[in-house]
Structure 1
């Protein structure tokens, strides 16, 4: 398994090496030794979750206040466009986004550190996304930013066919920026992943 650093600080792409034969394939989906080599504490993950979405469904953009939340995300079935936005005050890439295709062919995993907003859109008839999370969910820390906010300029590949009411009514990016400024720029106050 190979780990690749991406353009947002702390974001890693884990590329497994599947072994194919007449039966299909076998691959390692997680390797704690590789994670530790790149500064992660793999034993800190406390929860695995899975979502299933139909084509065009959009989930996001979600984050967490407080200590934040780190995630290891992969698409076990189908394909999604996974999008991150750096919401860490003081980060040199604050406000920038990064999009990565996750699918059941390349089998890559995306590690997202605390402080980033996270969302994805299903590109195939059905897509299953698996999350390995380092904290238990606390709804009081949830934040959401509009998926179509013009200040973020995220280009989603498909028309949005399904979206939750919460995501449809999410606040604009500028509201989160104001909120971050009033709470200070301490790392433990920055939002992080939660989808």
Structure 2
């Protein structure tokens, strides 16, 4: 497994290296030792507590979601199909604050995305169906959910396909400016 850095501080792309032959393939989808070394903290891999999976239809956008308080670290991969995965840095004081990146995750490259606390996260399904697997470092608490509209003009996110199905929660998500009003710049967290 190889690890690459991104333009956003602390965000990593993990690249499994599958073995393929006439039977198909085998790949290690996670390696705690390699992950811990890449993050620079022994035992970081053991902090993951919950795994979830979603299935989305072509064009579906899920996001842009985040967590208030101390945030949430996650490891994201697409086990079936392909998605465009998008992150926005919402860590006040970060060199990447307000910046975004987009990374294609799919079932051919097996690329994973490590998302540290302090990011909005969302994706759009690029194939007929896409299964996305999330591994997070603490149990989900809906009282800490935050969101920003996927089509907010101030964020200027570009989605490659026409928007397909979207949840009511995402349709009614607040604007980037509303989120900025909530940011607690003295502690680098959202309130």
Higher relative contact order (CA 8 A, sep 6+): 1
Backbone CA RMSD of aligned residues: 1.0
Tell me which residue corresponds to 1:82: 85
Indicate conservation of the 8 Å contact 2:88/2:119, yes or no. yes
Indicate the residue corresponding to 1:160 in structure 2.
163
Count of aligned positions: 188
Residue in 2 that maps onto 1:124: 127
Could you tell me how far 1:166 is from its partner in structure 2? 0.5
The 5 Å alignment of 1:49-64 reads 49-64=52-67
Q: Does 2:108 align with 1:114?
A: no
CA contact (8 A) 1:8 1:98 kept: yes
CA drift at 1:69: 0.2
Any unmatched runs of 5+ in structure 1?
Answer: none
Unaligned 5+ segments in structure 2 are none
Deviation at 1:163, TM superposition (A): 0.3
SS in 2 for 1:98: strand
Structure 2 counterpart SS, 1:80: strand
Instruction: Render the CA deviation track for 1:16-52: whole Å, top value 9, x for unaligned.
Output: 1000011110000000010111225000000010000
* TM superposition shift of 1:186: 1.2
Cα distance, 1:93 vs structure 2: 1.2
CA offsets 1:155-187 (integer angstroms, 9 cap, x no match): 00001110000100100000000110xx34313
Specify the alignment match of 2:180 in structure 1. 177
Partner of 1:98: 101
Which ranges of 4 or more aligned residues in structure 1 deviate by more than 4 Å?
A: none
